[in-house]
């Protein structure tokens, strides 16, 4: 039986940074596309009124989206605001009254996880949780133990099927195309295994630094911030088996099964780095041991991927801003060829951002009598940045109860199990210069066969 559509959207943290950068532009887009025809209630404790919230929403959309006057006017007509303390029962009584006849609200907790229990308890005490759904933002804990504790907290008030853990990376069109491209093309899927793939590498590079997020990063670091969630989700999409059906649990089941087969990281699998100057950032300790760069080597212990290393490299203050996947195929000796060296140029390349690109690397014969060739790249697909932003897609899916692109608790726990052994200062920290590809000597420790692929070269070729 299909899930019921939500009949109201309530977002806590309405005056916060996430609402400003992501939620308001997504709400206008949902209205513009006819997918948000319900009351929208913002809740925060800022001493604001509704007029100030609408002004904030307009400024948000102008800076982080594109103002659509008609859609924005309609959004404002649906918008209301409650200014109240999350620890005050009166706040939730006001919310219940504001919801009126709505009985299937969608609650979006754009607030720190430390406040989840307070807000969930307040909703329950005001009679707001029956038939409701709740959307929570990452991080889903700081390690495996805290992720389990956070789950227990939420499950006091909401069953698992009503909890939507949002990871905006799964809402990106290029990430979904990883799955589609594999299973829609038999030639690709037939070679997607240890018999043909030499290695897989994923780079998520940012050329900028903290951008005012130093205090947050001191509590997270690159492994917690993007490896445990975004990068392992990408690996799951790349490596999972074909889902058995179209329903949302089929895809979530296969992502979860794949992550269960990933071997926990050992210190020898990881390199950590910190860019020179990080400790001078606002909110950062002068002796900080938090990583702004991480490289890791993952092993998937199943029949399809046995022996194939998956490499991940993430970091700030790197030479380029781009996210790219390179699946490198094995070289097969062919006696008829004159050039039988180790470099065949055979690969599949997925650029996930800022553009979406799918390209195939191959070799073609060079003119002349010798059976020798050159590497070429065939661009199979190119698309400018997403037309539908991830938050529009994900909030729309949560409103109709489609959990396909949300993380299940067992998948969250599997991801933490993988990175738990290398959290904290288990792995030494090395300094690197801004604008470089991480700590010196990285290629001697954690690096794919033949070295790391350079997304900067790919970007220059577009």
- Render pLDDT for 141-173 as a digit per residue (tens, 0 to 9): 889 999 999 899 899 999 999 999 988 777 788
- Is 335's pLDDT higher than 90? no
Quick count: other Cβ atoms within 10 Å of Cβ 348? 22
- In the predicted structure, residue 263 carries a pLDDT above the cut 60: yes
Q: What share of the chain has pLDDT > 70, as a percent?
A: 95
- Contact at 8 Å (CB) between 239 and 310? yes
Q: Does pLDDT of 290 surpass 50?
A: yes
Whole-model pTM: value is: 0.87
Cis, peptide link before residue 136, omega less than 30° from 0: no
Q: What is the pLDDT of residue 342?
A: 56
Mean pLDDT of 127-140: 90
Catalytic residue of the set 35, 196, 230, 331: 230
Q: Is 196 a catalytic residue?
A: no
Identify the H or E element spanning 17: helix 17-18
> Looking at residue 250, what is its pLDDT?
87
Quick one: pLDDT band at residue 419, thresholds 50, 70, 90? very high
Q: Is the pLDDT of residue 234 over 80?
A: yes
- Tokens of residue 434, six digits: 């801004």
pLDDT at residue 386 is higher than 60: no
Work out the mean pLDDT of the chain and round it to a whole number.
Answer: 90
CA distance 190 to 320: 33
The answer to whether residues 430 and 439 touch, using CB atoms and an 8 Å cutoff, is yes
- Return the pLDDT at 14: 95
Q: Is the pLDDT of residue 1 over 50?
A: no
Position 339 scores a pLDDT of: 67
Percent of the chain with pLDDT over 90: 67
Q: Is the pLDDT of residue 404 over 50?
A: yes
Question: What does the DSSP 8-state code read for residue 436?
Answer: S
Q: What is the pLDDT of residues 368-379, one digit of tens each?
A: 878 877 777 888
């Amino acid at each position: 039986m299909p899930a019921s559509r939500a009949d109201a959207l309530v977002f806590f943290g309405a005056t916060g940074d996430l609402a400003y950068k992501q939620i308001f532009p997504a709400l206008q887009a949902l209205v513009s596309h006819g997918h948000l025809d319900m009351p929208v209630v913002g809740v925060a404790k800022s001493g604001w009124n509704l007029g100030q919230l609408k002004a904030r929403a307009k400024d948000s959309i102008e800076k982080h989206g594109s103002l659509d006057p008609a859609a924005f006017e309609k959004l404002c007509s649906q918008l209301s605001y409650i200014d109240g303390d999350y620890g005050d029962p009166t706040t939730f009584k006001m919310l219940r009254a504001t919801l009126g006849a709505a009985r299937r609200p969608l609650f979006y907790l754009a607030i720190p996880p430390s406040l989840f229990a307070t807000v969930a308890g307040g909703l329950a005490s005001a009679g707001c949780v029956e038939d409701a759904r709740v959307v929570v933002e990452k991080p889903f804990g700081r390690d495996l133990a805290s992720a389990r504790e956070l789950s227990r907290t939420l499950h006091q008030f909401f069953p698992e099927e009503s909890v939507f853990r949002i990871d905006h990376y799964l809402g990106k069109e290029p990430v979904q195309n990883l799955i589609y491209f594999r299973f829609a093309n038999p030639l690709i899927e037939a070679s997607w295994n240890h018999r043909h793939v030499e290695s897989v590498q994923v780079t998520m590079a940012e050329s900028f630094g903290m951008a005012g997020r130093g205090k947050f990063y001191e509590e997270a670091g690159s492994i917690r911030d993007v490896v445990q969630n975004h990068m392992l989700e990408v690996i799951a999409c790349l490596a999972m088996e074909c889902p058995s059906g179209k329903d949302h649990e089929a895809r979530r089941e296969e992502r979860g099964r794949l992550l269960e087969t990933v071997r926990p990281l050992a210190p020898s699998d990881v390199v950590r780095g910190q860019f020179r100057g990080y400790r001078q950032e606002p909110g950062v300790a002068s002796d900080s041991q938090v990583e702004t760069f991480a490289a890791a080597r993952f092993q998937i212990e199943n029949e399809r991927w046995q022996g194939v290393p998956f490499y991940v490299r993430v970091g700030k203050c790197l030479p380029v801003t781009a996210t790219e996947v390179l699946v490198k195929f094995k070289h097969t000796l062919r006696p008829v060829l004159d050039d039988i060296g180790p470099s065949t140029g055979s690969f599949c390349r997925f650029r996930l951002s800022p553009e979406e690109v799918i390209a195939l690397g191959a070799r073609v014969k060079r003119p002349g009598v010798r059976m020798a060739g050159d590497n070429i790249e065939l661009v199979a697909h190119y698309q400018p940045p997403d037309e539908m932003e991830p938050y529009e897609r994900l909030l729309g899916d949560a409103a109709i109860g489609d959990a396909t692109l949300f993380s299940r608790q067992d998948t969250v726990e599997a991801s933490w199990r993988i990175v738990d052994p290398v959290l904290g200062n288990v792995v030494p920290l090395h300094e690197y210069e801004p604008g470089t590809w991480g700590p010196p000597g990285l290629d001697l420790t954690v690096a794919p066969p033949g070295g790391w692929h350079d997304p900067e070269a790919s970007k220059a070729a577009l």
